[in-house]
A and B are shown apart, each in its own frame.
Chain A
Amino acid sequence: MNSCDIYERILARFRNVSYSNEAAFYGPKIDVQVWSAIGKEFTIATNQVDFAVPENSMVVDPVTDSDEVAVRCYDAMIGSEFEQRHGWHVNLMPDSVLRELPAEWETRATTRACGLLTVTVPSPADLLAPKLRRNEPRDRAHEAWAYAVGLLPSGL
């Protein structure tokens, strides 16, 4: 599953909804940002491919300053009916997790429109940076996977 397939799968659940907040993530993840109908930018989710979960399962780690979004996230946590139905669950993250990102990550992020939403995705290298600092075996495995699937250019 490539990054675009992941976005399509996640964003299919969020069409026609407005959210608000900053982007956040922890570990090698794909950040999902959206724009409301009036053009305000929000970050609603990140998603992380975790080798410890089945291939068709995902964890999404959103950061939001919208209580309405947070309420929805509480109903999509691990073990929820939402997870059983969609194969992924939500793990809310605080905005302080942004401090783990490399400086000026926004300048290296890419943006994609998806229906009513606009998605901003940090670069894979920026997403991987916190994991490489942690440097656990699973982090090195994630790095190797990122190179293997072409998310990181060789020689980085």
Chain B
Amino acid sequence: MTTTDDEFTAIWGDYPNYDDIARFDYGRRMWRRPVMGARLLAHWLDPRHPYRERFSERRAMIEGVLASEAGLVDLDTRLRECGTSLRCAAREIPPVFGSFFAHALG
């Protein structure tokens, strides 16, 4: 499902952060794959991950975003109704650190 330029700007702002968008785009795709989804979750909950605590506090929202199959406009609308936005939610998706992601499942 594609978005128009206006929709893109409305969601991501005039100066989109492509790293945030990448974590959202690829995060959703990887989340649907059982093994990768499990690896991501284990990685973000790893004590070595610097954002583990923040992710734990917002885990339900982040997992809801990653599991959602809604289009960007619909998803952003739903998040705004909850007092946040897709732009903010994407920022909350933690990054992946290669040094301990590969072995996240032991």
Question: Which residues of A are at the interface with B, using a C-beta cutoff of 8 A?
Answer: 26, 67, 70-71, 74-83, 89, 91-97, 99
Q: For chain B residues 60-80, which have a beta carbon within 8 Å of chain A?
A: none
Instruction: Tell me the number of A-to-B contacts counted with CB atoms below 8 Å.
Output: 60
| Shortest beta-carbon distance from B99 to chain A in Å | 4
Residue of B nearest to A67 (CB): B29
Report the interface size for chain B: residues with CB under 8 A from the other chain.
Answer: 21
Give complex CA distance A96, B24 in Å. Answer: 12
The docked-state distance in angstroms from the alpha carbon of A92 to that of B22 is: 6
Contact check, A81 vs B36: say whether CB atoms are below 8 A apart: no
Closest Cβ–Cβ distance, residue A84 to chain B (whole Å): 9
**Residues from chain B with Cβ under 8 Å of A81 in the complex:** 98, 102
Q: How far is the CA of A82 from the CA of B99 in the complex (A)?
A: 9
Contact at A67–B101, with CB atoms within 8 Å? no
User: Min CB distance, A33 to chain B, in Å?
Assistant: 19
Please determine whether A82 and B30 come into contact, CB atoms closer than 8 angstroms: no
Q: Interface readout for B11-54 with A: 1 if CB under 8 Å, 0 if not?
A: 01000101101101110011001001000000000000000000
List the A side residues contacting B18 at CB < 8 Å: 26, 93-94, 96-97
Contacts of A91 in B (CB 8 A): 19, 22
- Assembled-state Cα–Cα distance A66/B70 (Å): 20
